[in-house]
Structure 1
Amino acid sequence: MMRDMGHGTTDPPTGAITLHRASYGVQGRPILQDITLSLTERRIGILGRNGSGKTTLLRLMAGLVAPTAGTVTVEGMDPAADRRGMLRALGILFQNPDHQIIFPTVIEELSFGLRQQGHSAAAAAAAAQAVLAAHGRAHWAPAPVASLSQGQRQLVCLLAVLAMRPRTILLDEPFSGLDLPMQIRLTRLLDGLPQRLMTITHDPRVVAGHDRVIWLDEGRLRADGPAAEVAAAYQAEMERLGALDADADIPG
């Protein structure tokens, strides 16, 4: 059964990402409204159309923005206030790797987060090299990031996150812009990870087989429940909207 959108009052389980009546707006314009969730499952999908508030929800959970109302906690921490605590709790893979990569070589990119966690330069480089080797990419270490394809740069970003060993990874449209072979490789890698994965997407196929799916619509919770039920309801609504000529009018 898809869950009722009422507000729970129970204590969050250990390791939960919890939002209680969380809202976010900019200059009086609401983007997310009154979101209450306790997220504990291993594979969670956040489903919605473009502009539904999915990426803003990710940014709230990651502490990149603070709620304008309500609260957000990650493993009992305020993600916007405890940046050091978040380094081990949570990692993020953004939609566009070029918005995430900041260093010229692969080894520098993977080492950066480890340095932020307090590792020495030598220890960070060794750990980064070990991650590359574990994924069959040891030879990438000195490569200029700019020489890699988009799919390869996306993999570098993911390996940089994995090097930090977070307990939860937030994925923002991780397959956008990737060709089918790279999507298959990335899916295989993600499926084998022990971490909790929270995947943000507009495509219901991406969340097939997830433990739980949340549907956001115009900044509010539309549905929350098993993947098959929520994805089917979302697909039906998208097909209904697709049958309309809602984009035929030219704005005045």
Structure 2
Amino acid sequence: MPAVTFDQASVAVETENSAQPKVLLDAVTLRLEEARVGVIGANGSGKSTLLRLVNGLIQPTTGTVTVDGDDTVRAVRKVRRNVGFVFTDPLSQLVMPTGREDVELSLRRSVKNGPERRRQASQALERLGLLHLADQSIYELSGGERQLMALAAVLAVNPAVLVLDEPSTLLDLRNRELLRRTLANLDQQIIMSTHDLDLALEMDRVLVIEAGRVAFDGAPGEAVAAYRSWCLQGLNPAGRDAP
């Protein structure tokens, strides 16, 4: 598996109402090598910031992030070829009228020949069971189908790492299960934030993020139990030492 490394990575942004920058992520040091890494925590805890550092959507204010040794700032183009990103809302990612056109768009840089690009797009759609929906308007698709279309467009270029930011948030139970089964069969390393604790339990390793820090890092069952406990007790785990 690829190694995604955070070395004292922090993210801070200027705000109008304060002379001091707002810290979104605070000196995170991690090495992620597992096939399935889950990231859980409350809204605003820093989960999305952590994920967006992985493919250079956000640059660290201090520290570094690397993917298999490639710095996400200095080698951002190479990193983005190796790291695919799937957003929470697929409509923010699907920019073409149909799924087929979106997948072909993602292939345009790597596959210059039109017929070959269309063939590879069909393969990518067929792999996820979407070929019969390829030429429908994305607005005619269900939330789960849109999410899978966005996933197909990302997977078409065969990234080594797949980052998903709360992919099941907008899905009903049937489409959540469809997404879960699809992800379980992928070869890519997956780093995924989620509010779905049952989904988090299927990961190899789970991080609990609170107030921009890693409050817990460990086995899924232990991480979910700690997070549940903190939520139920109304505790703020920021700054705690991981058990």
Scaled by the length of structure 1, the TM-score of the pair is: 0.86
Q: Is the 2:2–2:189 contact (alpha carbons within 8 Å) kept by the matching residues of 1?
A: no
Query: Which residue of structure 1 lines up, in the alignment, with residue 7 of structure 2?
Result: 20
- Aligned residue type for 1:93: V
- Aligned residue type for 1:40: E
Query: Which residue of structure 1 lines up, in the alignment, with residue 90 of structure 2?
Result: 97
- Aligned residue type for 1:50: N
- Aligned residue type for 2:8: R
**Does 2:119 match 1:126?**
yes
Per the alignment, do residues 87 and 111 of structure 1 end up closer, same or farther by CA in structure 2, a change over 3 Å counting? farther
Query: Which residue of structure 1 lines up, in the alignment, with residue 57 of structure 2?
Result: 64
Query: Which residue of structure 1 lines up, in the alignment, with residue 17 of structure 2?
Result: none
Counting aligned pairs with the same residue, the percent is: 38
Match of 2:146 among 123, 144, 153: 153
Alpha-carbon distance in 1 for matches of 2:90, 2:81: 21
Q: Secondary structure at the match of 1:116?
A: coil
- Aligned residue type for 1:20: D
Alpha-carbon distance in 2 for matches of 1:198, 1:15: 11
Query: Which residue of structure 1 lines up, in the alignment, with residue 102 of structure 2?
Result: 109
Q: Is the 2:85–2:154 contact (alpha carbons within 8 Å) kept by the matching residues of 1?
A: yes
Query: Which residue of structure 2 lines up, in the alignment, with residue 227 of structure 1?
Result: 220
* Structure 1 residue ranges without an equivalent (≥5): 1-13, 243-252
Match of 1:177 among 147, 170, 176: 170
Q: Is the 2:130–2:149 contact (alpha carbons within 8 Å) kept by the matching residues of 1?
A: no
Residue deviations 1:202-222 (CA, integer Å, cap 9, x gap): 332221031111111100110
Q: Is the 2:25–2:212 contact (alpha carbons within 8 Å) kept by the matching residues of 1?
A: yes
Structure 1 segments, 4+ long, off by >4 Å, are none
Alpha-carbon distance in 2 for matches of 1:218, 1:30: 9
- Aligned residue type for 2:2: G
Residue deviations 1:115-149 (CA, integer Å, cap 9, x gap): 13354333222101112223332222222212212
Q: Secondary structure at the match of 2:108?
A: helix
Q: Is the 1:50–1:202 contact (alpha carbons within 8 Å) kept by the matching residues of 2?
A: no
Scaled by the length of structure 2, the TM-score of the pair is: 0.89
Query: Which residue of structure 2 lines up, in the alignment, with residue 165 of structure 1?
Result: 158
Query: Which residue of structure 2 lines up, in the alignment, with residue 34 of structure 1?
Result: 27
**Does 2:33 match 1:46?**
no
Alpha-carbon distance in 2 for matches of 1:178, 1:209: 18
Query: Which residue of structure 2 lines up, in the alignment, with residue 74 of structure 1?
Result: 67
Residue deviations 1:4-30 (CA, integer Å, cap 9, x gap): xxxxxxxxxx72100100000110111
Query: Which residue of structure 2 lines up, in the alignment, with residue 215 of structure 1?
Result: 208
Q: Secondary structure at the match of 1:91?
A: strand
Alpha-carbon distance in 1 for matches of 2:203, 2:48: 19
Superposition deviation, residue 77 in structure 1: 1.1
Count matched residues: 229
Alpha-carbon distance in 2 for matches of 1:189, 1:72: 28
Alpha-carbon distance in 1 for matches of 2:227, 2:195: 10
Superposition deviation, residue 87 in structure 1: 3.9
Residue deviations 1:38-65 (CA, integer Å, cap 9, x gap): 0000010111110000001111111011
Alpha-carbon distance in 2 for matches of 1:70, 1:82: 15
Q: Secondary structure at the match of 2:234?
A: helix
